[in-house]
Amino acid sequence: MSKIENLSWASPIDDLYKGKTKPKSLENLKDAHVYTLYQLINIFPYKYYPVKLNPQLHQCVPGDYIRIKGSLTDLRVRPIFKRKLKMAQVSCTMVIGFEKISLTWFNAYPPLRQKVETLCESQEQTTLEGVLSFYRQQYQLTNPRFVSEDEAAEIELVYPSMNKVTGKYIKGLIEKIPVTLWDKLPTINSRSPSLSQAYKVVHNLNDKSETPIADCLERIKYQEFLIDQLKIIARRNKRNSIKIPPITFTEEQIAEVKSQLSFQLTVDQEKSLQDIINDLQSGHPLTRMIQGDVGCGKTAVAFIVSSLLASQKYQVAFMCPTETLAAQHYHFFQSHSNLSIGYLASSLSAKEKKIVSEKIHNGEYSIVIGTHSLFQKSIEFKNLGLCIIDEQHKFGVQQRIDLVAKSTTSHCLLMSATPIPRSLQLTQFGDLDISSIKTMPSQHRGYKTRVVETNNFENYLSFIKTRLELHEQGYIVLPNIEASEYRSKYSIGQLLEQYRQWFPETHIQAIHGQLKSDEQKEVIQKFRDNKIQILISTSIIEVGIHVPNATFISIYHPEYFGLSSLHQLRGRVGRDEKPGFCFLIAENSLTLEQKNRLKEFEKISDGFKISELDLKLRGSGDLFGIDQSGHEEGRRISHIVDDKKILDDVIEDINSKLNPETIHYLQNFYGIMSDPLVMKSV
C-alpha cells in the first residue's frame, strides 16, 4: 500500500507528497504550526464565491466571480528587474464575442508568461476565472486562474495566506487528501450534520449536499470546543493523579491567624479562604485564582493562607509585578505578623541579594515577597509549599511555571482584579478553580468613570479644583514619558508645567520609570504623606499604590491603554471611605470604534466583564500553550463569548452523554495524551 493510501488524520502534511523532495511551502506551514492533515483541514476558506458561468459582462457587477471563455490578444509584458526568476507583469485582452475584458497578472513567473504568449499567438480559446472589477472604464480580471472544463466548480473558495504560503497552495494541498479519508473523522452521538459531512461542505468537497455552510461551521465549532474539553479532562486527571501530603489546619489555628487582622472578613473572603483550605487538604495540587476588584481584600486572604502554611513549616513565595506592589505587601505582612518575612527585588544590592538568597535556601524566611527575581534559577527554597502570584496577568505563563517548579507541592494561588483572556478561558472552561470576591469591604466607596472631551474640559478642571479645596489628592496619567507624534502631544514635563499653571497653589510632582528606584520611593512616600497633592505619572502607578486620600485619577489618551490597564489605574481611587472619580481625557480625534470602546468601559466596573470585553478585542490566548493573547492554535473559528451556547452544549454532552470509553477514544484520536503542552502548562 502506498504512503498516500495509508494516510490518517494524524499523518504529517509531508506524506501528501510521494517523493523525498518537499516544497518549501510545507516548511512554512509547519512554522505556522500546521503539522498534520487534521490541522491542515482546519484552515478554512474566508470567502465563498458562487461562480457565474460565461455571463454577459454588462449584466455583472464588480465583485462577481466569473468563469469566461474566449481568445487572448494584445499582449503587453513589462519585466520586473528587481525581482528574481525573471518575473514580469503580463497584460492582455480577452475577446468574448462582442465583449472584451482586460487581464493582468502581476509577478508572473516565466511558465505563466509563456502560456499567455502562446495563447495570444494561436488565438486558441481558453477558460479563465476570477473576481470581476471595473477599472478605467473597462472590465478587468486581476491574476485570473486558468481552469480546465473538468475541474470547474460551481463555488470558488478563497483560502487565507499563511506564513508566505498562498491560499491557492493551501487549497491545492487540501484537495490532495484522499476522498476515502474524509469519512474517517470521528462521529459522536447523533449530531447533525456529521463531522465528515461538515468538513466536506466547508471545503466544497460534497457538491450534492444541501446542508447550509453555516450549519457545518456550527458543527465544527462544537468539535473545537469538544477537543478543548477533552484536553482539560486529560490535564485534570493528570493533576488529580498527583498525590501529595494533605496540609490540614485546626479551627483554632485559623482563628488565631484571623485575629491578627484589624477587620472582619467579608462573606466572599471567608468563602475564598475555605475554598483554598479545602484544596490544601485534598492531597492534590492547588490551582486556584482569586478574582476580585481592587480593594476587595484579596491580599488579606493571601495573608491568612500564607501564615497558615508557615505554621506548618512550609515556605511561601509571593510574587508581584512591580517593586512598589511588592513593598506594599511586604509592609502589610510585617505589620500584621511576627513571622520571618523576606523581601527580594532587583533594586537590592548584590550583597543584599546574596544574604536574602541564603536565608531563603536555609529556610530562615517563612514568607518571601518579591518581584521577578523569585523565579530566577539562582533562588532555591528549602521547602516551598505555596506560590502566590499577584496581578497574574502581568506575568508570562512560562514565568509562573518556573516559579511553581521550585515548589515541593505544586500549590499555586493566582490573584487578579482583571483576569487576562487566557485565564478567563481557563475559568469558563473549568480547568482553573476560581473564587470570586464580589462583596466589597463596608468602607469601600468605589468610583465613577467619565469620558472628558474638549467641549467639557473646563468643567473637568473646575471639578479637580473642588476636590483639591477639599484637601483631596489625585493622579494624572500619561501613556508616555516624552511627547510623541503618534501618541501624546504632551511629555510628562510639559503636563507637569501645565497643571502647575492651572493650580499654582498645589504641590505637584512627577514620577516615571526613568527615575531611580530610590527617587520613585521618595516621591511616592511624599504623596502618601500628602506633601504632594497631584502626582503626574506614567502607568507605573497601575498597581501597588494605596493612598486613601487619593480620590481622582485622570488618564490622558486612554485609547492607548489596554482595558485591563485602565481598570487597574482607576482602581487607585475610591478604595476606602471617600468616593473615587476616574476621568478618561480624550484629546485626540477618536475613531468611532475607540469612542464605543471607552463608552463601554465607562459603564462597566466588574473585572470579569472587563476581561470579557478584552477577550473580544485582544483574542483569546493560547489555552494550552504559553501565549497570553492572540488566537489560540486549537480553535480557529469558535469564540468563547460569541459561541457560548455551543460551549454550553459541549459541556452538557460531556457530563451526560459521553461515557469514559468514548472520551478516551477521542483523546487518543486527537493525540491529546501525548501532547506535552497540554500536559505541562498550568
Residue 629's pLDDT is what? 45
378 shares its domain with 514: no
Three cell numbers written together for 564: 485591563
202 shares its domain with 80: no
650 shares its domain with 586: no
Cα angle, residue 629 at apex, residues 624 and 635 outer, rounded to 5°: 50
- Structural domain includes residue 269: yes
DSSP H helices in 90-182: 110-122, 167-175
Three cell numbers written together for 311: 505554621
Mean pLDDT within 586-595 = 81
Residue 482's pLDDT is what? 87
Question: How far is 587 from 455, CA to CA, in rounded Å?
Answer: 10
Question: How far is 621 from 389, CA to CA, in rounded Å?
Answer: 19
451 shares its domain with 485: yes
Last residue in a domain, options 158, 176, 209: 158
Q: Is the pLDDT of residue 624 over 60?
A: no
455 shares its domain with 583: yes
Is the separation of the CB atoms in 525 and 556 below 8 Å?
Answer: no
Question: How far is 169 from 587, CA to CA, in rounded Å?
Answer: 47
The whole domain housing 498 covers 447-604
648 shares its domain with 598: no
335 shares its domain with 376: yes
257 shares its domain with 235: no
Burial (CB count within 10 angstroms: exposed 0-12, middle 13-18, buried 19+), residue 135: exposed
Residue with cell 483576569: 419
427 shares its domain with 351: yes
* Predicted confidence band of residue 1 (pLDDT cuts 50, 70, 90): very low
Three cell numbers written together for 411: 500549590
Q: What is the DSSP letter of 210?
A: -
Number of folded domains that form the chain: 4
128 shares its domain with 198: no
Which of 53-57, 276-280, 514-518 bottoms out in mean pLDDT, i.e. has the lowest?
Answer: 514-518
Kindly report, residue by residue over 460-498, the tens digit of the pLDDT. 999 999 999 999 999 999 988 888 766 677 889 999 999
Q: What is the DSSP letter of 522?
A: H
- Crossing angle of helices 213-241 and 644-656, in 10° steps, is 50
- Structural domain includes residue 629: no
Residue 515's pLDDT is what? 85
Residue 99's pLDDT is what? 92
The DSSP element (H or E) to which 233 belongs, if any, is: helix 213-241
Kindly report, residue by residue over 173-207, the tens digit of the pLDDT. 998 999 889 988 887 767 889 999 999 999 988 76
- Structural domain includes residue 562: yes
Residue 568's pLDDT is what? 83
Residue 517's pLDDT is what? 80
- Structural domain includes residue 313: yes
Residue 682's pLDDT is what? 45
- Structural domain includes residue 528: yes
**315-319 and 155-158 beta bridge pairing:** unpaired
Residue with cell 459531512: 197
Concatenated DSSP letters of 305-366: HHHHHHHTT-EEEEE-SSHHHHHHHHHHHHHH--S-EEEE-TTS-HHHHHHHHHHHHHT--S
Kindly report, residue by residue over 639-682, the tens digit of the pLDDT. 877 888 898 899 888 888 888 888 898 888 888 877 666 655 54
- Structural domain includes residue 175: no
Residue 410's pLDDT is what? 87
Kindly report, residue by residue over 260-295, the tens digit of the pLDDT. 998 889 999 999 999 999 999 999 999 898 988 777
454 shares its domain with 340: no
DSSP bridge partners of 550: 473
**315-319 and 384-390 beta bridge pairing:** parallel
Mean pLDDT within 396-413 = 84
Q: Is the pLDDT of residue 622 over 70?
A: no
Q: What is the DSSP letter of 578?
A: S
Last residue in a domain, options 380, 414, 436: 436
Q: Is the pLDDT of residue 628 over 60?
A: no
Single pTM value for the model: 0.72
User: Of the candidates 587, 334, 295, 317, which has an alpha carbon nearest to the alpha carbon of residue 444?
Assistant: 295
Burial (CB count within 10 angstroms: exposed 0-12, middle 13-18, buried 19+), residue 381: buried
Q: Is the pLDDT of residue 415 over 50?
A: yes
* Predicted confidence band of residue 442 (pLDDT cuts 50, 70, 90): low
Kindly report, residue by residue over 227-264, the tens digit of the pLDDT. 888 988 888 888 888 899 999 999 999 999 999 998 88
Mean pLDDT within 62-86 = 86
324 shares its domain with 212: no
CATH number at residue 541: 3.40.50.300
